[in-house]
Amino acid sequence: METPFLYGRIAENENFTNRRNETEFLKKNFKGLINTVIISPRRWGKTSLVHKVAKLISEEEKNVIICQVDIFNCRTEEEFYTVFANSLLKSTTTVWEEFVGGVKKYLGRLAPIVSISDATQTYELSFGIDFKDSRLSYDEILDLPQVIANDTKKRIVVCIDEFQNINEYEEPLAFQRKLRSHWQKHTSVCYCLYGSKRHMLLNIFNNYSMPFYKFGDILFLSKIEHAEWVTFISERFADTGKQISTELAGLIADKMKNHPYYTQQLSQQVWFRTPDSGCTKEIVEEAFSSLIAQLSLLFANVVDSLTPKQINFLLAVADSVSNFSSKEVLTKYKLGTSANIKNLRKATLEKDLIDVLPGNIIEIQDPAFEYWVKYVYR
């Protein structure tokens, strides 16, 4: 049975929830070749948003090529170049012969090797040179979008997912300088850069001492509004012949604090349990308890990796504490001295357990984990 709720994959068509303002903003920037950085916590729908806008642009603008690059598995600068070139050439060609022709035309001096899979009929490009020993190599690859744009008389939008991974390369600052020095000269190309680690992206793009400072517009993706979730959940139930009241649809969104991934997941669990007679509050509560139980082992492993003071800090965050350095809070949560707070905040932020919102408000990123820490673990 096909469920009406989708999570953990790219949401398309009727599965895509709202984001009208963000969609229009990104469309405008893509059409105007304005560099854009998307920043938000994990699982808030960045990839789905970019995918939707890319599809809309491809349908509306025949002279615009959208290239989507995922560097999640790139652990070195050399791997970045290979994935970047592969993605670009695949986006600008349609058949094997064109791909091979593009490799020879643009990257012939880099000892390219093209292989094809017999099983899937997919092809991949690799290089037989050492990038560390040849400056021309990365020059040619990083300027490839503009060169292809000039040849095809088309505009190119390059979207790079998991961009924060470049911070893990051997010489991250030097690499960022290379990228910025090349990309800022491109006149027929724009870049959309985004990823899943908000604090790392903020450091790359919002720190005046970094090469990518003021590289382009920054879109801070917010949660989908509660009212939009109520409408979406109600309509998806109705479309599949099941009934749920607006109050219960709102309860689902409330329990998951409007978190896109978890709201869809809990909605699916409620939908599975809802009979023809309609949904009840008991069904929502049962589905929520079941979901928390499913995640308990995962959450227990997370807590096992933390120090006692880090756990206590998370408990304080879950309790909506604001003045962490007060004597009362330090004593109640056994956080030690006020000097510890900065280190505890940094450690939990780097582990992607918390998020720092405007106004220096700290919250636990994962609403299910927050509930588990507060009511199950405690």
Q: Which helix (H) or strand (E) holds 66?
A: strand 64-70
Q: Please give the C-alpha separations between residue 282 and each of 226, 279, 291, 317, 362, in angstroms, as whole numbers.
A: 21, 8, 14, 29, 32
Q: What is the pLDDT of residue 133?
A: 55
Q: Give, rounded to a whole angstrom, the gap between the first and last alpha carbons of the chain.
A: 38
Q: What is the pLDDT of residue 135?
A: 52
Q: Please give the C-alpha separations between residue 326 and each of 137, 151, 195, 339, 347, in angstroms, as whole numbers.
A: 56, 63, 35, 11, 20
Integer Cα distance of 238 and 55 in angstroms: 27
Q: What is the CATH number of domain 306-377?
A: 1.10.10
Q: Please give the C-alpha separations between residue 110 and each of 89, 104, 105, 129, 136, in angstroms, as whole numbers.
A: 15, 9, 11, 6, 9
- In 3-state terms, what secondary structure has residue 115? strand
**Is residue 142 within 8 Å of 135, Cβ to Cβ?**
no
CB count within 10 Å of CB 56 equals 16
**Is residue 198 within 8 Å of 41, Cβ to Cβ?**
yes
CATH 3.40.50.300 at 19-220, yes or no: yes
Residues with pLDDT less than 70, the chain: 1, 8-16, 111, 117-121, 127-137
Residue given tokens 């680690």 in the structure block: 197
Integer Cα distance of 205 and 217 in angstroms: 10
Sequence-ordered list of residues with C-beta below 8 angstroms from that of 44, at least 6 positions apart, any chain: 221, 223, 259, 260, 261
- In 3-state terms, what secondary structure has residue 225? coil
In single-letter form, the type of residue at position 253 comes to: A
Read off the pLDDT of residues 251-276 as tens digits, 9 standing for 90 and up. 999 999 999 999 999 999 999 999 99
Integer Cα distance of 86 and 144 in angstroms: 11
Of 101, 176, 110, nearest to 138 by C-alpha is 110
Residue given tokens 């919002």 in the structure block: 206
Q: What is the pLDDT of residue 129?
A: 44
Q: What is the pLDDT of residue 117?
A: 66
Q: What is the pLDDT of residue 14?
A: 60
**Is residue 365 within 8 Å of 41, Cβ to Cβ?**
yes
Domain ranges for the chain? 19-220, 226-296, 306-377
